[in-house]
Structure formats: structure tokens, C-alpha cells
Amino acid sequence: MKIDDKKRVLREMVLHRRFEERCYQAYIERKIGGFLHLYPGQEACCNGVMEAARPGHDYVITGYRDHVHAIKCGADPKEVMAELYGKETGSSKGRGGSMHIFDAAKRFMGGYALVGGPFPLAAGIAKAIQLKGGDEIAICFLGDAANNQGVFHETLNMAALWKLPVLFVCENNLYGIGTSIERSTAVIHQHKRVAAYNIPADECDGQDIEVVYEHARKAVDHVRAGNGPFFLELMTYRYRGHSMSDSRGYRSREEEELWKQRDPIFILRDRLIKEGAITMAEFEAIEKETDAYIENEVIKFSEESPEPRVEDLEKYVLADRDTQLPWLTGKAA
């Protein structure tokens, strides 16, 4: 990665971390309802892959741990936070919530809350790209536990069969909700599971963004060149529980501390300091600026935005009736 890109991404990753931590606080304050799945610890995964891809051009789809993926694709953090607040100005107009962030204009095709559900949707997006003849690719970010769903295998089979331009990124954070991968999955290293479908696969450290980037570049190039799907496994860790109701009784604090010593933001920060690209004081300034931005703009916007109107409860269930009349009434022109 170029030095300027690394500096920019460091700033982005700080935003992603602080955004999520601020969500945590807002949840405690009951400003955010429902379920909340946070991303700290895994930032190098999304950032490393998307630096190798083309955010806003390539289509991205993921599960319910989706805030950072949306922002990385270009979604406005203000709209993402407003969605968590359930406001009309939210990315899904307050109808989706944390697990259903969407930004179609930025080609972020959404967060979905059924584990594994996005697999076939991603392949379908790739099918549409194939039919239309564009140079985009579909990127599907999911966790390791999703690979125990049947649609994982069904999708890999079809993606390979039809040579669909889809990159499957497996963020292997070692836990499916509160069950460790050793206790749920016969194969720890997920890339081994795709060999059966003749799909090329790779695995690397998911904590060092430069490592992720190098591996992702090869993966993205492979898919974009029309060679069909690719599967990239990134070994990573989520610091917080699966969701907010999770007290992490299934793992030790020692294990968590061990992973925090390989924090993706600190790895990049320390490297940039060592390379003389930034100073510690500059990094701390980035953190302060980020916190100020989140407080003064993101939170302020979310707090001050209006709620959806109850009269609009049924809006968006179906397409606007007026636009569909020929087919609903049979009176086609």
C-alpha cells in the first residue's frame, strides 16, 4: 500500500472503531434499540479487502455486523447512526435498524440477519453483473459460522459452476455467537472447505491490513479478470460479544488480551510511526478529531432527526401503487 493510502486508512479505521464504541455507549443509554453487533478488532478485514476493491463500484453484501462495511462503501456515518436511532433520516429510513443498513447508491446491498442468507444473494448479484456485462464484482463478507449453513455449499457450487464474479470473504473470528469454532465446526480453516468446489482459496492474517490488502488484491484481480469466484479467509477476532446481550462467558479474558496485542489499528499506527509517516501526537489528534466529528455531527444529526411518521407505517412494503397500476389492474397501455 502507498503511504498516503495507509495514512488515510488509519484515519478511517479510527473512525470505524470510535463509531462502534459510540454505538455501544448509545445502546447503554437506550438511544439504540434491538440487537447491536459491533466490529472492533476486525477493522483490517473490511478495510484491507475494500482497499483492493473499488468501493462504490463493486457490490458489497454482508451479515448483521454491517455498520463498518456500509461506511467503507461510502455510506454517510450520520445516516448509519441515524438508522440505529431509528430515525427517518437513517440509511433505511428507520425501517431496518442496525442489522439492515443499506446504501444502494453506494452499492452497499445490505446487511442481513439470517446467518448465511447473503451467500446466494451475492451470487445472484454476480449473476446480474455477468448478464449485464459490467466490470464490477460482488463481494460477500460473512463470518466463519455462516459456513455451516446449507446455502454456503449450495452457493459455492453454483458460483463455481457458472463462473460468477463473486469474492467470498470469510472473516473467521473463531466464534459463532457463543460457540467456539472448535466446538461447532469440524474444519477450523475454512478455506479448506471450498476446495471441494474447485474454487481457489487463500487464508491470511486478518489483523495486519497490509497483509490483508496483498492477499485481497490477488483475490479481487482473479475475480475481476473473469476467472470465477474466489474465497478469502481472514483470521481475526471480535473484541466485544456477539451482540450486546453477550457477557463472553464462553472465552477467557486472557485470550482476549492476547488478541488485543495484535490490534489492527495499533499494528498500522506503529508501522507508520516507525516509518516516520506520522507521530504519536498526530495519531492522538486523529482520535480527538474523530471523536469530535462523531459527537458534533454524527450524534447531533441522529439526535435531532425526526422519527418516521406513523402514517407511513405501511410505506415500502410494496412498490408505490401508482407506478404498478397497469399490472395490478390489467389495464396496460
Partner 1 sequence: MANIMYWEAIQRAHDEEMARDPLVICMGEDIGVAGGTYKATKGLYEKYGPLRVMDTPISEGGFTGLGIGASFLGVRPIIELMSVNFAWLAMDQMFNSAAKVRYMSGGQLTAPCVFRSAGGAAHQLGAQHSARMEKVFMGIAGLRVVTPSNPKQAYGLLKSAIRCDDPVFINEHELMYNMKGEVPDGEYFHPLEGSDIARAGTDVTLFGYNISVHWCLKAAEILDKQYGISAEVVDLYSLAPLDRAGIKASVSKTHRAVIAEEDEAPVGVGSEVIAIINEECFFELDAAPIRVHSALVPQPYNHTLEKAAIPDHEDVVKAVLKLFGKA
Residues in touch with partner 1 (CB under 8 A)? 59, 61, 90-97, 100, 102-105, 109-110, 112-114, 117, 119-132, 150-151, 154-155, 157-158, 161-162, 315-319, 323-324, 326-332
Q: Any idea what DSSP says for residue 250?
A: T
Residue 267: CB minimum distance to partner 1, A: 35
Contact 6, 268 (CB under 8 A): yes
Residue 42 or 92: the one with the smaller Cβ distance to partner 1 is 92
Residue 85 or 102: the one with the smaller Cβ distance to partner 1 is 102
C-beta atoms surrounding 110 within 10 Å: 22
Residue 106 or 238: the one with the smaller Cβ distance to partner 1 is 106
CA pair distance 58, 224, nearest whole angstrom: 10
Read off the C-alpha cell for 96.
431496518
Residue 28 or 114: the one with the smaller Cβ distance to partner 1 is 114
CA pair distance 153, 249, nearest whole angstrom: 31
Read off the C-alpha cell for 200.
481457489
Residue 153 or 251: the one with the smaller Cβ distance to partner 1 is 153
Task: List the Cα angle 169/171/177 in 5-degree steps.
Answer: 130
Residue 242: CB minimum distance to partner 1, A: 19
Residue 77: CB minimum distance to partner 1, A: 17
Distances in whole angstroms, Cα of residue 3 to Cα of each of 6, 210, 321 = 5, 11, 52
- Give strand ranges (E) for 84-237: 108-111, 138-143, 166-172, 175-176, 179-180, 201-205, 230-235
- Given the C-alpha cell 475475480, which residue does it identify? 223
Residue 298: CB minimum distance to partner 1, A: 19
Give the phi and the psi of residue 171 in degrees, each rounded to 5. Answer: -85, 95
Residue 158 or 212: the one with the smaller Cβ distance to partner 1 is 158
Residue 115: CB minimum distance to partner 1, A: 11
CA pair distance 184, 177, nearest whole angstrom: 11
Residue 329: CB minimum distance to partner 1, A: 5
Non-local CB neighbours of 217 within 8 Å, separated by 6+ positions: 52
Contact 267, 205 (CB under 8 A): no
Read off the C-alpha cell for 49.
479487502
Contact 21, 32 (CB under 8 A): no
Residue 98 or 290: the one with the smaller Cβ distance to partner 1 is 98
Residue 234: CB minimum distance to partner 1, A: 23
CA pair distance 214, 48, nearest whole angstrom: 8
CA pair distance 191, 189, nearest whole angstrom: 6
Residue 249 or 330: the one with the smaller Cβ distance to partner 1 is 330
Residue 223: CB minimum distance to partner 1, A: 16
Residue 62: CB minimum distance to partner 1, A: 13
Read off the C-alpha cell for 128.
446480474
Residue 173 or 305: the one with the smaller Cβ distance to partner 1 is 305
